[in-house]
Structure 1
Amino acid sequence: MNKRSTTQSARAFTSPLHSLIIFGITLPLLLSACGGANHTQDAPESSVKAPRFEAKSPCGNQQQYTINGTQYQVLDSAKGYQANGVASWYGLEYQGSETASCEKFDMYAHTAAHRTLPLPSYVRVTNKKNNKSVIVRINDRGPFDSQNEIELSFAAANALDMVKSKTASVTVTAITPDEVEGQITVKTQVDPPKINLQPATPSQSAENLQYAKAKYEHQKEVFYIIAGTFTNKDESLERFIRLSSIGISKAEMATAFGDDRELYMVRIGPLYHQDQIDNIKDRLSGDGLSNFKVIKETLKKPTS
């Protein structure tokens, strides 16, 4: 998932610190420098059903739609579709939310969001760096905050070994159910909690997950969860990796300056509504990370 909303490079920050600078990082280099900082948990293998013929969803399949002033044309069929591009992923922040196809988003299912493929469709996503591939079911729309080709669930991203790197260069190829036989066996990143995800009742598409995300990004206030502040960059990187490994896609690292000191901060956000905040708070507490705080930030319109 690249993040769903653009983070400014420098912002006023509600804390005793004078300023906060978000910095980009090259994760492969940092991971090697950090020497095996890895909090990935082993999990039992889980079976993923092979693609099957499905009728088009009554939700999310209008011929065209407009998000943030950009118009998208939904394809009549996925047959023959192939594209190269960047994959990102999304996870815990949206667990249980309604997707564009009026289903519940499950970060532990092998699903994905795409802007123009019919809902549902099946595609094979191949990570060009390691040649790992996974078959996912397209049941959502997006991403809308970037030109990335596809946005994967946490489980699908883990199958491609791209959870920590956040993005990967991929090939996306549409497949038909008769091209795959049997079952696909994969390992999930963590033991999924017992979550009762019932099919959602159809609602207006503007209230579905990806459409709602675009709407939330115009809010005047957003929230962040501060998940750790450190004096050592390696410690902050370890925390960042740990958050990614438990399915949090919106974690970011930042350097905070003030009072003649430099601190390294890991925060999660922006978050737009209480359900997102509660999901993350529960997961952090369950993972033994109870020392966190929620802050509210008022967004300012950019000056021309």
Structure 2
Amino acid sequence: MTTKEDTHRFMLRKTARRAGGSVPALLASFAVLVLAGCGSTPVHVVEPGESANRIEPAATAAKSAPRKTQAVQKRGGGYYKDDGPGDEIPDNLDDIPDAQPRLEPLHRFANRPYSVLGKNYVPDTTLRALRQRGVASWYGKKFHGQRTSIGEPYDMFSMTAAHPTLAIPSYVRVSNPANGKSVVVRVTDRGPFHADRIIDLSYAAAYRLGYINNGSTLVEVETILPGDATSVSYAQVKPPAPATGGRDEIELLASRLAAEPPTPASRPVTLAAGVYLQLGAFSNNDNAESLRAHIARELDWVDEPIVVVPSDSWYRVQVGPYPNRADAEKVAERIRLSYGQKPAFVVR
């Protein structure tokens, strides 16, 4: 009767003949491998009553590894193409503090009525309670360093936001119901002007809410009012000094991005005859220039110039000219697909 040991000897001889060696040599090699295996991590034997799914801790686990930003850059961040920081995602984005609500005078010009893509907006001229639920998007490096409606340069690593009608400046708490995370941001800019979105957050705020890789997400927005006992109160204090360490890396990247060539301001031009598309109208030139810069980055496929045209105490943002209505209609339809609203036609 053939035993298990006989079978093993037969297999060894067969393997040795194929390899052109002897059985003793093969056994010696096998012994070396066994001894080498003995020098590696020992195999844990499951004792009676012990779970077989037990995982042994690493023998040399790191005691306190530095926290890495859990973000995977995705081309097409939000609805802006390639708008994240690229391959240079800084560490410690989680450590960027919320905006610190404080009493501030409202901006003189940023809260005036305006029109974008045929829709009229009447911003708040006082602070008021507001709760909204809708889609939030984010904007990043394409706008970093650009002038916002409040007159300050946009910083994608600060806790700020753009809103179509909230008073500038004001503060809101934005919550992500999908994961329970929330941030406090300072409203410093106008937008978004897409029909299905209610607020645009900075890159840092969107990261803190956990939707940087999705581009947009459902959020809840609640204003923070002075003396509101149920919320964060405004205080006559300065925002805390940024933390040292990780923030230094963020500031260096922010400075480098801000040094990139900005979108040149619109220059007075003699408009040629043709068909123009009107994207917006403002009573203040700074706000018109802010929209023009935003649109120029979002609609980077548009070949015709986007200009600010002063007329009758209004500053109108227009693109063109197009030789005929049919050509202008094609561009207008593409803009409608992007924003959900269609620009007006102006013939000169």
Paired residue for 1:170, among 212, 219, 223? 219
Aligned to 2:134: 85
Whether 1:109 aligns to 2:166 is: no
Aligned to 1:94: 143
Query: Partners of 1:120 and 1:174 in 2: how far apart?
Result: 11
Whether 1:195 aligns to 2:245 is: no
TM-score (norm 2): 0.47
Cα displacement (A) at 1:116: 0.5
Whether 1:125 aligns to 2:168 is: no
Structure 1 residues 168 and 106: alpha-carbon distance in aligned structure 2, compared to 1, 3 A threshold: same
TM-score (norm 1): 0.53
Cα displacement (A) at 1:112: 0.4
Runs of 4+ with deviation above 3 angstroms:
38-41, 46-49, 180-188, 214-222
Within 5 Å, which residues of 2 pair with 1:259-270? none
Whether 1:302 aligns to 2:330 is: yes
Q: Given residue 134 of structure 1, which amino acid in structure 2 is its aligned partner? A: V
Query: Partners of 1:218 and 1:43 in 2: how far apart?
Result: 32
Aligned to 1:27: none
Query: Partners of 1:109 and 1:194 in 2: how far apart?
Result: 10
Query: Partners of 2:299 and 2:98 in 1: how far apart?
Result: 37
Structure 1 residues 72 and 60: alpha-carbon distance in aligned structure 2, compared to 1, 3 A threshold: same
Alignment length (residue pairs): 193
Query: Partners of 1:40 and 1:2 in 2: how far apart?
Result: 16
Query: Partners of 2:222 and 2:172 in 1: how far apart?
Result: 5
Query: Partners of 2:166 and 2:217 in 1: how far apart?
Result: 20
Query: Pairwise CA RMSD of aligned residues?
Result: 3.8
Q: Given residue 107 of structure 2, which amino acid in structure 1 is its aligned partner? A: S
Query: Partners of 1:164 and 1:146 in 2: how far apart?
Result: 21
Q: Report percent identity of matched pairs.
A: 30
Q: Which runs of 5+ in 2 are unaligned?
A: 1-76, 82-86, 259-283, 307-326, 334-348
Q: Mark the structure with the bigger radius of gyration.
A: 2
Within 5 Å, which residues of 2 pair with 1:1-304? 2-3=78-79, 41-43=90-92, 45-62=95-112, 64-178=113-227, 179-180=232-233, 191-192=250-251, 193=253, 195=255, 204-214=285-295, 221=302, 302=330
Structure 1 residues 206 and 46: alpha-carbon distance in aligned structure 2, compared to 1, 3 A threshold: closer
SS in 2 for 1:93: coil
Q: Bigger relative contact order, structure 1 or 2, given CA contacts below 8 A and separation 6+?
A: 1
Whether contact under 8 Å (2:111, 2:125) holds in the other structure is no
Q: Which runs of 5+ in 1 are unaligned?
A: 6-37, 198-202, 223-271, 273-298
